[in-house]
Amino acid sequence: MTQLEFGLGADVPQTLELPDDPTAPGPLGPEALVPTIRGQVRVERLLREQLGPKVMVALTQNRATMVSFRHRRGVTYVRLHSLFQWAPDDVLAAVADFARTHPPPERASALIDRYLELHRDLVEENRSDRLPLRPQGKHHDLEDIFDTLNEQLFAGTLTARITWSKAQRGLKRSTMRLGSYNESENVIRMHPALDQAFVPRYFVASVVFHEMLHEVHGAEEVSEGRRAVHTPAFLADEQRFEHYARARAWENKHIKRLLRY
């Protein structure tokens, strides 16, 4: 996956303005950082005009990677920070150039970087968490697992971020929560016991997939004051994972070893 972060350091014009769009919120405020369907449709339409009809866009709140794309089976999957839903047309054209050409044209990189720099303070001021994410483990790269599943099973539409959590070693455990999804942060946290050499990638992927489904299904109110997350629809969807039965069998065989972490 190709990605772009703050600080490209290119010389850019100082006249970049926001689009004259009647649907825009005026001067950008915190509400501009919330992904919207209208924003996604606008970005997808403009990128398809530049790149062709096979473009899938996901708006995220990932501040570490503001722009990323991947080409797979003739489809270009583009992940953009939600700030880009209000970007001028020429900035989105630059995003298209970035996805189409390697290395990207200097002017395209410059326009994108300038747009991000103009709104850096807004993004930083509205961070809900300031702890760095750690998706790269010693044995498993969670971001790579997430991106692969996202493309194969969710058409690249999910926006959650993922990280290894922290856990004290050497405790006596009878249970272990292998993964969790925080809806307000849109962050998946994975137990570090899974980042061991004996744990196969397909099993880690099965846990990641389970947590990704929480972003899809959310919580369903089943009675007053009671919400369910593992609904029948959720459990049925979980079995879409290619190695579902194999992962459950591995867990039953090795859970005691995981608990000894």
Q: How confident is the model at residue 25 (pLDDT cuts 50, 70, 90)?
A: very low
Instruction: Give CA–CA dist 69/81, Å, rounded.
Output: 12
What's the pLDDT score for residue 22?
Answer: 35
pLDDT at 145 over 60: yes
Res 23: pLDDT = 40
Give the contacts of 155 (CB within 8 A, at least 6 positions apart).
56, 77
Mean predicted lDDT score pLDDT of the chain: 81
Q: How many residues does the chain have?
A: 261
> What is the mean predicted confidence (pLDDT) over 79-106?
87
Tens digits of per-residue pLDDT, 39-66? 888 999 999 999 998 888 888 877 767 8
Distance CA 151, CA 160 (A): 13
Listing DSSP states for 169-217 in one string gives SS---S----EEEETTTTEEEE-GGGSSTTS-HHHHHHHHHHHHHHHHH
- Least confident piece of the model among 60-69, 90-99, 147-156: 60-69
Among 3-7, 201-205, 207-211, name the one with the lowest average pLDDT: 3-7
- With 50 as the cut, is the pLDDT of residue 18 above it? no
| Domains of the chain with bracketed CATH | 2-125 (no CATH), 142-259 (3.30.2010.10)
Confidence of residue 20 (pLDDT cuts 50, 70, 90): very low
pLDDT digits (tens, 9 = 90+) for 162-195: 999 988 888 888 889 999 998 767 889 999 999 9
Question: Is residue 159 predicted with pLDDT exceeding 80?
Answer: yes
1 Cβ neighbours under 8 A, 6+ residues apart: 68, 69, 70, 147
pLDDT over threshold 50, residue 78: yes
pLDDT of residue 5: 42
The pLDDT of residue 10 is 35
181, 179, 237, 231: which is closest to 205 by C-alpha? 179
Higher per-residue pLDDT: 258 or 223: 258
pLDDT at 129: 46
